[in-house]
Amino acid sequence: MELLDGRKLSQKIESELKAEIETLKSKHDVVPGLAVILVGDDPASRAYVKMKESACERVGLYSIVHKMPVTISQDEILNTITMMNENPYLDGILVQLPLPPQIDKDSLLEAIKKEKDVDGFHPYNMGRLVMGMDSFVPCTPLGVMELLAEYKIDVKGLNAVVVGASNIVGKPMASLLLNAGATVDICHIYTKDLKAHTLNADLVIVGVGRPDLITADMIKEGAIVIDIGINKVGDRLVGDVSFDTVAPKTSYITPVPGGVGPMTIAMLLKNTVTAAKARRC
């Protein structure tokens, strides 16, 4: 069993991005810019946005956070997005999820210019991903693929199971795997026998937010297990996989924390630098 160390890889990527940003600044007078819209006071969202800010600072990327009250209207957020779309110094725009119930998430995501959609959630970019075309890809699934590549794990021909069918993780993850030549099953809340799917999988990727969903009896010997889930149990952060019992059966597995999480932020930085180069160089 080998741990897939996302923290170590994310540090390597940040180092490369820092050098790239320094080159962009010296040769083109370009400093990539990222704007975040944060609505309300959700503790997890605030913590995640703070981590994004810190990562931007480490690599030399300009960032700004628009903090908005939980009572804000749809039109007010749309007006802010319009302003960001027109700002030539902002290369990436993201809306931190979740949003309060009065806000239509989909219309906000669609309002972001596709060239600045560094989260990869715009229907244009999602459509191109499904078709196997170049696009901005959601950061968590992209981070998983980078992690697999770093450890020279080729998914071509593997039987892969993605547990979770969200637009943010499950669906784009399945598309990336399919584009890379894997045979993909997508399981979700209505799947009748999850174990029947996972037990035959060479690669299991899970991200639903349910501790201990995947147990040792659901994984075959030598499988690769990617745990995207992040759950707080007492004072501990755990994933969706029962790590202590599952890990001994695997060939590779991600820890939580320190696996996929750091890769998500690294891919956001990378997407923002890519957007800046495409728009301004």
* Range 29-113 has CATH code 3.40.50.10860: yes
The reported pTM is 0.96
Task: Tell me: pLDDT of 2 over 90.
Answer: yes
Q: What is the mean pLDDT of the chain?
A: 96
CATH of domain 139-261: 3.40.50.720
Query: Has 119 been annotated as catalytic?
Result: yes
Task: Tell me: pLDDT of 248 over 90.
Answer: yes
Could you read off the pLDDT of 4-30 as tens digits, one per residue?
999 999 999 999 999 999 999 999 999
Q: Are strands 33-39 and 92-95 parallel, antiparallel or unpaired?
A: parallel
Query: Has 96 been annotated as catalytic?
Result: yes
Is there a common fold for 29-113 and 139-261?
yes
pLDDT of residue 226: 98
Separation in Å, CA 174 to CA 60, 129, 184, 187, 201: 33, 10, 6, 10, 14
Could you read off the pLDDT of 96-108 as tens digits, one per residue?
999 999 999 999 9
pLDDT of residue 235: 87
Is residue 43 very low, low, confident or very high in pLDDT (cuts 50, 70, 90)? confident
- Both tokens of 207, joined, read 């991200």
On whether the CB atoms of residues 92 and 61 are closer than 8 A, the answer is no
Per-domain boundaries in the chain: 29-113, 139-261
pLDDT of residue 94: 95
On whether the CB atoms of residues 92 and 34 are closer than 8 A, the answer is yes
pLDDT of residue 281: 87
Query: Has 156 been annotated as catalytic?
Result: no
Work out the percent of the chain whose per-residue pLDDT is above 70.
Answer: 100
Task: Tell me: pLDDT of 44 over 90.
Answer: no
The residue annotated as part of the active site, out of 119, 202, 227, 240, is 119
Could you read off the pLDDT of 189-247 as tens digits, one per residue?
999 999 999 999 999 999 999 999 999 999 999 999 999 999 988 888 899 999 999 99
Distance in angstroms (rounded) separating the CA atoms of residues 147 and 39:
31
Could you read off the pLDDT of 113-148 as tens digits, one per residue?
999 999 999 999 999 999 999 999 999 999 999 999
pLDDT of residue 42: 86
Task: Tell me: pLDDT of 174 over 90.
Answer: yes
